Amino acid sequence: MTAETEFAASRRLFESVVDELASTDAASLTHSQLEDLLGSRIREVTRQLFQDHLRLRELTEQRLPEAVDASGGERTRIERSRSLTLATVFGKVMVTRIAYRGSSVADLHPADAVLNLPAGMHSHVLAKLAAIEASRGSFAEACERINAVTGAGIGHRQVQELAVAAAADIDDFYDALMPAPCTDVTTLVISVDGKGVVIRPEALREATAKAAVAKGGNKMKSRLAAGEKHSRKRMATLAAVYDAEPAKRGVDDIITDPDDGDSDGHERRPGPKARSKWLTGSVDDIAAQVVATAFDQAEHRDPTHRRCWVVLVDGARHQLDLITAEAERRGVTVHIVIDLIHVLEYLWDAAWCLHQAGDPAAEAFVAPHAPTILGGGAEQVAAALQTAARAARPKKNRRKGIDDAVGYLRNKAAYLCYDTALERGWPIATRIIEGACRHLVKDRLDNTGARWGLAGAEAVLKLRALRAKGDFNTYWSWHEKQEYARNHQARYRDQLTLTA
């Protein structure tokens, strides 16, 4: 059997397209009509080429001397022309091959291993497209986009299932990835944050589900009353780990008096630049597990704890407790720094207790306190706020911002040593993890009206993190190798390299 014979159907189909384009009817088509015509016709030509190639493989497949499964069970009979349907980006094709059979055991198909066929009907290329589109927009939009580009006729639920399966190896991929080499002086930075995701009732954490039942509904039907929550969110925890060369700075490199501007000619020194960023997130795992995973990545980069570890957080008590406990468990010293921007927001809340909304004097009130905090004077600022409150004597209902700021500065004083951070060249802002929360969670998982299942939310979160780091194509090649090992190589004795 020759290739000339087996590809005859493809040749005829291609020639029919040529004839159609050479016809008088085609001469009156606009360029966009020609594009649509060729898009549909050439897709069918390509599908037929795929099918003819598979037919050639079927006809040239040779019977193997033996076929033995992983448990040593031999297949003593064969059945030719065993077929299955494969959905590709060009359309559906039939894969026909030899089945090796035995008594009361599953059949073996060595030709499937040569093709690295998926466990389901959809090809790896179609699954890759589904993973990209599902991480980019809604499952409905992904379905529409895939079908418009490929004509595959894939359904909404199939896109979701393919996305979930596509994310299955991401954690193992990063465990196997070797970090870039660093010197002992390179700062190792960990940052953790969380963002709520609206989840379907059956996927809520136990405590949230109990709270929703105990509340027994909202006071009003059309909106939430003051202090009420929907009790329908599950917290997604995100963590980032990256390397940063120390970049020493002073207070003037961060904040200057707004009245002075840059008139003094001071050139601000740049802060430390993040590199080799690693990012993870999970809706399924609890926060403690995500923190532990981040510490795993950090130890992967610095197994002997020779480098300086800095942990950037927004100051949430449960995060601080988890980080401290994990550091103690591993015997590593970490320097916890609370995000400066978060601290400054407390200063502004205090300022609005003493000034009317929009009053420019509020800026003058905050201006001297921010540099003082950067210089390590958190207690000094707390005392100054109390003094200002006593002098202004605001009403009780207007003191909350000041009281909260004073309490925060004193309770978190151990994590506000910005003078030390600047002297040693550490980062002092959580912009990387804050940006990740916005990009990974808010921009995709926080769509209006969306109600997520746990598996779908987890897969989309991991796929978006993977794409954000630029690792998707590298991961996908690795993922296909894992699929080969799972679906084919592991089924045969000695995990032999299979050939048809």
Does one domain contain both 191 and 85? no
380-399 mean pLDDT: 84
Tell me, yes or no, whether 443 lies in a domain: no
Band the pLDDT of 453: cuts 50, 70, 90.
confident
- Is 462 part of any domain? no
Compute the distance between CA of residue 97 and CA of residue 61 in angstroms, rounded to an integer. Answer: 7
Other CB atoms within 10 Å distance of the CB of residue 247: 17
Residue 149 lies in a domain: yes
Q: Tell me, what's the pLDDT at 436?
A: 83
CB 385 within 8 A of CB 405: yes
User: Which amino acid makes up residue 92?
Assistant: K
Instruction: Identify the pLDDT of residue 500.
Output: 41
Mean pLDDT of 439-444: 81
d(CA 263, CA 282): 47
In a domain, 3, yes or no: no
| pLDDT tens per residue across span 14-41 | 999 999 999 999 999 999 999 999 999 9
Q: What confidence score (pLDDT) does residue 201 get? A: 77
Predicted pLDDT of residue 273: 93
In this structure, are 248 and 354 located in the same domain?
Answer: yes
CA separation for the pair 142, 132 (Å, rounded): 8
- List, for residues 155-176, the tens digit of each pLDDT value: 989 999 999 999 999 989 988 8
Q: Is 121 exposed, middle or buried (0-12, 13-18, 19+ CB in 10 A)?
A: middle
Q: Residue 157: what are its φ and ψ, rounded to 5°?
A: -65, -35
151, pLDDT greater than 90: no
Domains held by the chain: number: 2
Burial 286-318, CB ≥16 within 10 A → b, else e: ebeebbbbbbebbbebbeeeebbbbbbbbbeee
Shared domain check, 364 and 246: yes
Question: How far, in Å, CA of 387 to CA of 410, rounded?
Answer: 15
Segments forming the whole domain that contains residue 432: 182-215+228-260+268-438
Which of 169-178, 239-248, 362-371 has maximum average pLDDT? 239-248
Per-residue pLDDT reduced to its tens digit, 454-492: 888 899 999 999 998 889 999 999 999 999 999 999 999
Q: What is the pLDDT of residue 262?
A: 53
Residue 3, Cβ density class (10 Å: 0-12 exposed, 13-18 middle, ≥19 buried):
exposed
- In this prediction, residues 275-291 reach a mean pLDDT of 91
**Domain identity same for 201 and 122:** no
Average pLDDT, the chain: 88
Co-location of 243 and 386 in the same domain? yes
At residue 227, does pLDDT exceed 50?
no
What pLDDT shows up at residue 61? 94
Q: Does residue 38 belong to any structural domain of this protein? A: no
- What is the structure's pLDDT at 399? 83
Whether 139 shows a pLDDT value over 60: the answer reads: yes
Q: For tokens 């993870």, what's the residue?
A: 280
The reported pLDDT for the residue numbered 191 is 95
Residues 6+ apart with CB under 8 A from 324: 334, 336
Q: How far apart are CA 243 and CA 189, in angstroms?
A: 6
Pairing between β-strand 233-244 and β-strand 274-282 as defined by DSSP bridges:
antiparallel
129 and 170 in a single domain? The answer is yes
User: What's the rounded mean pLDDT across residues 336-350?
Assistant: 93
Direct distance between the N- and C-terminal alpha carbons of the chain, in angstroms, rounded to an integer: 17
More confident: 284 or 446: 284
Nearest CA among 344, 360, 351 for reference residue 254: 344
Question: For 82-131, what is each residue's pLDDT tens digit?
Answer: 999 999 999 999 999 999 999 999 999 999 999 999 999 999 999 999 99
Q: Coil, helix or strand for 183? A: coil
Whether the pLDDT of residue 263 is over 60: the answer is no
- DSSP single-letter state for residue 440: I
Question: pLDDT tens digits for 45-77?
Answer: 999 999 999 999 999 999 999 899 999 999 999
Q: What is the pLDDT of residue 495?
A: 59
Q: Rg of the chain over CA atoms, in angstroms?
A: 31
Q: Which of 251, 191, 211 is nearest to 376 (CA)?
A: 251
Which residue, of 438, 463, 480, is where some domain finishes? 438
Contact predicate 369/351, CB 8 Å: no
Decide if pLDDT at 147 tops 80.
Answer: yes
What is the percentage of the chain residues whose pLDDT exceeds 90?
Answer: 60
Let me know whether 120 and 197 are in one domain.
no
Residues 147, 250 within the same domain: no
What is the Cα–Cα distance from 158 to 121, expressed in whole angstroms?
A: 10
Contact between 53 and 1 under an 8 Å Cβ cutoff? The reply is no
* Look-up of token digits 């699929």: 483
Confidence of residue 441 (pLDDT cuts 50, 70, 90): confident
Compare 500 and 491 and report the one with higher pLDDT. 491
Span 294-321, average pLDDT: 94
For residue 209, pLDDT over 90 is answered with no
Instruction: Report d(CA 27, CA 21) in Å as an integer.
Output: 8
Q: Please check whether residue 74 is in contact with residue 112, taking contact to mean a CB–CB distance below 8 angstroms.
A: no
Q: Dump strand ranges (E) for 38-186.
A: 77-88, 91-101
Q: Is residue 463 part of a domain?
A: no
Q: Residue 66, SS3? A: coil
Nearest to 174 by CA among 276, 312, 25, 43: 276
Name the β-bridge partners of 243. 188, 275
Q: Give the confidence band of 224 by pLDDT, cuts at 50, 70, 90.
A: very low
0.75 surpassed by pTM = yes
Q: CB of 138 within 8 A of CB of 443?
A: no
Question: Please, what's the b/e burial string for 410-432 (b: 16 or more CB within 10 A of its CB; e: otherwise)?
Answer: eebeebbbbeebbeebbbbbbeb
Residue 8 scores a pLDDT above 90: yes
| 410 and 338 fall within a common domain | yes
Instruction: Look at residue 37 and tell me if it is in a domain.
Output: no
Asked if residue 233 lies in contact with residue 212, where contact means CB atoms within 8 angstroms, the answer is: no
Report if residue 485 sits inside a domain. yes
> What pLDDT, on the 0 to 100 scale, is given for residue 381?
93
Is pLDDT of 401 > 90? no
CA pair distance 145, 130, nearest whole angstrom:
9
**Residues whose CB falls within 8 Å of the CB of residue 64, separated by 6 or more in sequence, listed in order:** 100, 110
The answer on 405 and 309 residing in a single domain is yes
Residues 146 and 289 in one domain: no
In this prediction, residue 228 has a pLDDT band, given cuts at 50, 70 and 90, of very low
Indicate whether 279 and 373 sit together in one domain.
Answer: yes
Within 13 A of 169's CA, how many CA atoms are on the CB side? 21
